[in-house]
Copies of this chain bind each other. A is one copy, B any other.
């Protein structure tokens, strides 16, 4: 959770750095070399001062009067986030949602690859062909060790989630992207990000009722 030897950067800032990185990628595609905090902030949906504060956590490299060099800033943020190298990820729980996520091949472009899928019933019939084999849970531990996988996508039913999460952690997984609708109990050094589409919709529906 903390990065030794560097200033502690707030969670929210890290999240926004990812957003800035994607905005910068689009600028690059359009062959734009230089950008002001004003313009970049606008693209990212934040205030210019916030952008500058965020960048200030890991040093200054803008040019006053001019702005930031797009390539240099991209590189710097990318280094900071550690996204320069492709991270292997496993997916556990190939039910409806897990299958959906597997068939969505949009992770690779962004530096992540789902390298294996696991399920309690690997042979179960599924209504869609996928290119990746599905392994039984007994194969998980060895695989994670051998391939040195650190991250997992968890898409099992609520009732199984905590048990499976425990297996993942025992195998050495340190980061879990949790799609199951329960709050996982994990030790401090394991990181969980929750994604719950139903809650997102519920949240929207609240705010649009006037």
List A residues at the B interface (Cβ < 8 Å): 1, 3-4, 11, 14-15, 18-19, 22-23, 26, 43-45, 81-83, 87, 89, 96-97, 99-101, 103-107, 109-112, 127-129, 150-151, 158, 174-177, 181-183, 191, 193, 195-210
For the A-B complex with A96-B106, A101-B197, A177-B200 known, give 10 more contacts whose Cβ atoms are closer than 8 Å.
Answer: A23-B183, A89-B201, A106-B198, A110-B198, A110-B201, A111-B202, A151-B201, A174-B208, A175-B204, A176-B204
Q: Contacting A202 at CB < 8 Å: which of B81, B99, B106, B181? A: B81
Given contacts A19-B183, A96-B103, A96-B105, contact A151 B202 (CB under 8 A): no
Asked whether, in the complex, the Cβ of B111 is within 8 Å of the Cβ of A100, the reply is: no
Specify the chain B residue showing the minimal Cβ separation from A198: B110
Task: Give the shortest distance, in Å, between A58 (CB) and chain B (any CB).
Answer: 12
> Which residues in B have their C-beta under 8 angstroms from that of A14?
203, 206-207
